[in-house]
Amino acid sequence: MAGNKTEVSAARRSKHGGILSVVMTILSIMWISPIFVVILNSFKRKAYIFKFPFGVSPYPITDGFDKFLKGAQKMFCGMLNYQNGISKTDLFHCFGYSLTITIGSVALILLCCSMCAWYITRVHTVATKVIYVLCLFSMIVPFQMVMFTLSKFANMLHLSTPVGIVVVYLGFGAGLSVFMFTGFVKSISLEIEEAAMIDGCNPLQTYFMVILPIMKPTVITVAILQTMWIWNDYLLPSLVLNINKYKTIPIAIQYLKQSHGQIDWGAMMAVLVVAIVPIVIFYIFCQKYIIEGVMAGAVKG
């Protein structure tokens, strides 16, 4: 009797698991499909992007394969959109600015916030509690409340450069980063640090040789989250940077809009693909650490 109940329960779980898999597959296709549409349209001529956004030929295959193939050759323009997008946006310079800002900001956030979280966790004073509360408070305050004041202060402090904006990103990225690092540091045994100090390590050596390697999952998770935000960010660079001299990729894409609302959609799609590829590659290589790091930083302790 018990065996029959177990078999029925397993069959139900298998059935429910199959239905859930189908539902999640459909949702995944829905989420991924816009990326495929962008990639597909990045190779099309401008006149066909709106007429046939999901098609590969203006003629159905039922009209004959030769006619279908000729229509596809007429619809697609190869790499022309990529050439136009790169030349119109000066993409290589924009790519360099985006890369510099992203790498510099993420590196500074990882270093400063991880050290701050370690200090907050190990030193129990009123000052450390205030710092932690302020970091959490910064996650709650909407960006729109401070963006005009921020723009004014950035100009006053001469932060309107790719190097200066790194400091601004540190301020906005510190809240979530300190929160995640603090949660993970609480799970690290204090005896490990005491053993390192007995072996002759000073606080900096303890941090870089003991604490930082242990925090690797959370470091990679924070790096991924911050990189995706900073690389794709449009609003903050447009407010802080001198966009007459320095344009990141999102700003350069916006500049493809011409007068009277005219947009070179083919070039825009091509530049979007170029902007997406680096962050997707980075995410694929680091994705296995995301769940581990999020759980460690948000649940433990």
Q: pLDDT of 10-32, one tens digit each?
A: 556 666 667 888 888 888 888 88
**Mean pLDDT, residues 235-251 taken together:** 88
Cα 258 to Cα 118: distance, rounded to the nearest angstrom: 50
Which residues, including other chains, have CB under 8 Å from residue 122's CB and lie 6 or more apart?
Answer: 185, 190, 193
Lowest mean pLDDT among 12-16, 17-21, 151-155, 229-233: 12-16
**The predicted structure's pLDDT at residue 297:** 46
Q: Is the pTM of this model over 0.75?
A: yes
pLDDT surpassing 70 at residue 6: no
Claim to verify: residue 123 and residue 258 sit in the same structural domain: yes
The answer to whether residues 33 and 71 touch, using CB atoms and an 8 Å cutoff, is no
Claim to verify: residue 29 and residue 89 sit in the same structural domain: no
Q: How many residues does the chain have?
A: 301
Q: Which of 38, 62, 78 is the last residue of a domain?
A: 78
Claim to verify: residue 159 and residue 254 sit in the same structural domain: yes
**Mean pLDDT, residues 104-116 taken together:** 94
pLDDT surpassing 60 at residue 7: no
pLDDT surpassing 70 at residue 259: no
Claim to verify: residue 221 and residue 120 sit in the same structural domain: yes
Claim to verify: residue 47 and residue 192 sit in the same structural domain: no
Claim to verify: residue 74 and residue 85 sit in the same structural domain: no
Claim to verify: residue 242 and residue 219 sit in the same structural domain: yes
pLDDT surpassing 80 at residue 254: yes
What burial class does residue 285 get, using C-beta atoms within 10 Å of its C-beta: 0-12 exposed, 13-18 middle, 19+ buried? exposed
Domain extent, residue 250, equals 81-298
Claim to verify: residue 89 and residue 70 sit in the same structural domain: no
Domain count, the chain: 2
pLDDT surpassing 90 at residue 115: yes
pLDDT surpassing 60 at residue 299: no
What is the share, in percent, of the chain residues with pLDDT greater than 70?
89
**The predicted structure's pLDDT at residue 292:** 60
